[in-house]
Amino acid sequence: MTTLDDKLLGEKLQYYYSTSEDEDSDHEDKDRGRGAPAISSTPAEAELAGEGISINTGPKGVINDWRRFKQLETEQREEQCREMERLIKKLSMSCRSHLDEEEEQQKQKDLQEKISGKMTLKEFGTKDKNLDDEEFLQQYRKQRMEEMRQQFHKGPQFKQVFEIPSGEGFLDMIDKEQKSTLIMVHIYEDGVP
């Protein structure tokens, strides 16, 4: 699986570590000679082995390591999602729109009327349902009409028709207007109705 260059340069693609005792003892002697404490790999091995099973460096060990990695990755992703949801809820609870406040005031007013005995419980329930539907439709219509008006009336309106005899005149007219001005062009022939 390796190329000739990798073999010649001695590069290890899989980073396979040798288990020969000679190499291990050489590294430990160097660490002890520098005064560095010897690193014990027993706790890490015990963590990866799990449930007292011996550590496999072969395919089974790799598969188990991969499963553990995927499990930890999934747990981390779920924790991030939960944290994001908590943050969204925290930030959204502190924000109330003017419409929400008006609805709350109307509900409070209706509740006060109900408490004072002006309406029966049945009247209150039917009024609330009918008003919700009507109010929603009316509010939606108003909002949509306002959106269409804003789209239509974005720039200045001239309400004039100019007849331009040449292409140069057309360019002059366009250059004189603002960039946001909507210009409609109607091209026609005199003989065609």
Q: Domain map of the chain by residue range?
A: 4-37+55-90, 96-152
Summarize the confidence of residues 86-106 as an average pLDDT. Answer: 77
CA dihedral 99, 105, 108, 110 (to 10 degrees): -80
Closest alpha carbon to 38 in 30, 49, 47, 46: 30
Percent of the chain with pLDDT over 90: 9
Supply the pLDDT for residue 70: 94
Supply the pLDDT for residue 12: 59
Q: Mean pLDDT across the chain, nearest whole number?
A: 72
- Residue 153: pLDDT over 90: no
Cβ(165)–Cβ(171) below 8 Å: no
Confidence of residue 46 (pLDDT cuts 50, 70, 90): very low
Query: For the purposes of burial, counting CB atoms within 10 Å of the CB of 127, is it exposed (0-12), middle (13-18) or buried (19 or more)?
Result: middle
Supply the pLDDT for residue 40: 46
- Residue 51: pLDDT over 60: no
- Is the torsion defined by CA of 160, 166, 170, 176 positive or negative? negative
Quote the distance between the C-alpha of residue 73 and its chain's center.
Answer: 20
Summarize the confidence of residues 84-100 as an average pLDDT. Answer: 76
Summarize the confidence of residues 20-30 as an average pLDDT. Answer: 52
Supply the pLDDT for residue 38: 47
Q: 1: Cβ–Cβ under 8 A, 6 or more apart, which residues?
A: 13
